[in-house]
Every structure is written in C-alpha cells, then in structure tokens.
Amino acid sequence: MHKILSLLVKLQKLDLNLDKIRSDKESFLLQVNSYEEKIKQLEKELKEKKKEPKEIKKKRREREERIEEIDILLSKHEEEKYKVKSQDEFDALDKEVAQLEKEKKEVEDIILDLMEREEIIARELPLYEKEKEEEKKRLKKNKNNSLEVIDKLIQKEEILKREREELISGLDNNILNQYEKLRKIRGGLAVTRIEKGVCEACRVKVSTSLAYEVSQGKGIIYCENCSRILYIPDN
C-alpha cells in the first residue's frame, strides 16, 4: 500500500477509537451527573421527612390552644345564660354554644388524627432513614465506579492522542486538512475499504478501473459516490 495511504488508514482507525472513547466518556459523565442529581434529591427528601414530626406537633399545639379558647368561651357563655333578659338573647347564646361545641368536637378529632400520625411517623422514620441512607450509599458507589471508568478512558485518550501526534507528523498538511474535512462531512469516516468491489462506507459499487488504481497503491483515490479515500488492505 502507498505509504501515505497506509498512514491515513492508521489515522482513521485511531480517530475512530478516539471518537468512541470520547462518546463513552460523555455518557459516563452524564451518568455521574444523574447519580449526583439523585443523591441531591434523596437528601432533600430525607430533610423534609425529618421535619415532619415537628410540623405535626406544632399543628397539634395550635389545635390544643383552640380547644382551650373554646373552653373559656363556653364557661363564659354558661355564666351569661343566667344574666340574659329575653328569649331571643337566650336563643342566640344557645346557638353560639352549639356552634362552639360542634367546633370543639371537630378540633378534637383532628387532634386525634394528628396524634395517630405522630405515632406512625415515630415508628416509620428510622426505617425510612435507614432505607434512604442505603440508597444513597449505593448511588455514591455507582458514581465512583463511573468516575473510575472515566479516569481510565482519559488515560487511554491521552495515549492515543500522543500516538496521533506522532502519526500526523509523517503527513503533509494538505492531505491532513483534506482528511479532517472529509471526516467532518462524512460522519467521522474519511478512509474506507473496498470490500468485494463495493465502497464499504456508502455501499456503492466501485468501477473496475478505479478499483484497479486503488489496488496498485499509487496514491490517494476517492470513492466516486461518497468522496471518501479508498483502500484495499494488504494481504
């Protein structure tokens, strides 16, 4: 094979490897981000959950205070009953008392519900915390694994980049530019094989005369259809 063509074939293989490494790195980075997001979300949920007992207790206190207020009003009304002068006044007072008693009953029910929830949370919170902490540990482990893979990919990338530098030092700038341009417009693939008379990249048949030229290994020959650089591997 022509010396320059053989360098281009090597360069293409190397670049495909680099492309793969970069895209792998990208997806592992996305994974790391998603683990971090999940960990943050978990911590937020845990913090919210830990606040719940306090919030319920506060609600219960408020309701208990309301009961005290109602009791004071009720005993006040009880005294007033002896001082009213008309049936209308008495009826109005009676109505007020009935309403307060109804409210008292409702507030008492709410207090009972709140107490029940307090109990449930006191029982469930430790379990919930344990479960979430374990999940967090698992996510952190996954994140670290992904970070390790990224580290290895970066090391590999560095080695290939150095190899690439060495390789392109043997190539003329014009040819290198042409190769880069082709790679850009042809989905990363600038150099391709002729396989059973067909361009392996675009699957179009290569004319016999062109295939012959390529087989002679005399220079850079392009696919008539996709303009990629063609080669036939040496046996």
Element (H, E) at 230: strand 229-231
Residue 182 interacts with Zn ion (CB under 5 A): yes or no: no
Residue 202 interacts with Zn ion (CB under 5 A): yes or no: yes
Cα separation, 18 vs 167, whole angstroms:
14
Residue range at the interface with Zn ion (CB under 5 A); choices 10-18, 43-51, 141-149, 217-225: 217-225
Q: Please state the length of the chain.
A: 235
| Minimum distance from residue 196 beta carbon to Zn ion (Å) | 14
Alpha carbon dihedral 201, 202, 204, 205, in 10-degree steps, equals -20
| Minimum distance from residue 206 beta carbon to Zn ion (Å) | 8
Residue 168 interacts with Zn ion (CB under 5 A): yes or no: no
Residue 232 interacts with Zn ion (CB under 5 A): yes or no: no
Q: Closer CB to Zn ion, residue 27 or residue 207? A: 207
Among 21, 107, 223, 229, binds Zn ion (CB under 5 A): 223
| Sequence-ordered list of residues with C-beta below 8 angstroms from that of 73, at least 6 positions apart, any chain | 100
Read out DSSP for 176-213? HHHHHHHHHHTTT--EEEEETTEETTT-PBPPHHHHHH
Residue range at the interface with Zn ion (CB under 5 A); choices 48-56, 79-87, 119-127, 198-206: 198-206
Residues near Zn ion (CB under 5 A) are 199, 202, 223, 225-226
